[in-house]
Amino acid sequence: MVEVLYFAWVRERIGVPRETVETSARTVADLVTELRARDPRYDAAFADTSALRVALDQDLSGFDAPLEGVREVAFFPPMTGG
């Protein structure tokens, strides 16, 4: 089980800021595939992962990263701070 968080337009497109996901996905990319199969909203949000960033337990990571031991996965667009 993993806590999945969404920010900015990803959050708006999916419609929830966070949710607990029951998954046995091995990598972030596998989790994305599972989420996209759920519902057209997820499919649309994850259509182009090159436009997205991912953080695992609050550290920036990549879509090929393994999920083993990870508690929190966050998806968001490139950051625009400063």
**40 with 50: CB under 8 angstroms?**
no
* Binding-residue pattern over the window 43 to 62 for another protein, x denoting contact by CB under 8 A: ------------x--xxx--
Min separation Cβ 52 and another protein, Å: 11
82: contact with another protein by CB under 8 A: yes
**How far out from the chain centre does Cα 66 lie?**
13
Of 13, 29, 9, 20, nearest in space to 72 by CA: 20
Taking CB under 8 A as the binding criterion, the range among 5-13, 30-38, 42-50, 62-70 that sits at the site for another protein is 5-13
Does residue 14 bind another protein (CB under 8 A)?
Answer: no
Question: Taking Cα atoms as reference points, which of 48, 46, 49 lies closest to residue 61?
Answer: 49
Binding site residues, another protein, CB under 8 A: 5, 7-9, 55, 58-60, 74, 76-82
